[in-house]
Amino acid sequence: MKWVYGIVYVCVQDVKVCHSQLHVESLFMHSNQFDAIQSFAFQGFPQLEHLSLSGNRITFLKNYTFCGLYNLTELYISDNLIANVSALAFHGLHSLQMLYLTNNRILEMDLSDIPKGSVIYLEQNPLDDADYLHGFKKVSLQTHRFQQASGE
């Protein structure tokens, strides 16, 4: 297995210049203080199976953020500040098996592009409801309390 880890600084535009020569299966970019990821940012890594973006300051997942990651099986985006997830943020992740989104600020999200056999970890998010979570292999909401409407 080929690993890239311990990255202190990455300019995705610079990576795209030479991506055709990279055959990376695992990319760990956690705890790097990223606050944004551009659409199609990982398109040059078609062999990628494991991606960790945990422990950064990401607030928003744009449409097509992970487009091109056809072999990705595990995606770690926990411990960020994510409040908004665009409807097509996970578009194209046909092989995804594990999605870790714990400890963010997510109220709701569209998971229609996530394969139904996936396991999703959503602990410590202020989710409004779980109606859109039906049909997945496992959804972990351990110690979660759903927001309730007040003012009857």
Q: Domain 1-144 has what CATH class?
A: alpha beta
Q: When comparing pLDDT for 143 and 142, which is higher? A: 142
Give pLDDT, residue 32: 87
What integer is the mean pLDDT of 23-51? Answer: 89
Q: When comparing pLDDT for 150 and 136, which is higher? A: 136
| Cβ atoms 28, 54 nearer than 8 A | no
Output the pTM of the full model.
0.79
For 93-128, the pLDDT digits (tens) are 999 999 999 999 998 888 889 998 899 999 998 887
What integer is the mean pLDDT of 59-67? Answer: 94
For 6-30, the pLDDT digits (tens) are 444 444 443 443 445 467 889 989 8
Residue spans of the domains in the chain: they are 1-144
Q: Mind giving me the DSSP string for the chain? A: --EE---S---HHHHHHTGGG---SEEE--SS------TTTTTT-TT--EEE-TTS---EE-TTTTTT-TT--EEE--SS---EE-TTTTTT-TT--EEE--SS--S----TTS-TT-EEE--S---S--GGGTT-SEEE-TT---------
**What is the band of 142 on the pLDDT scale with cuts at 50, 70, 90?**
low
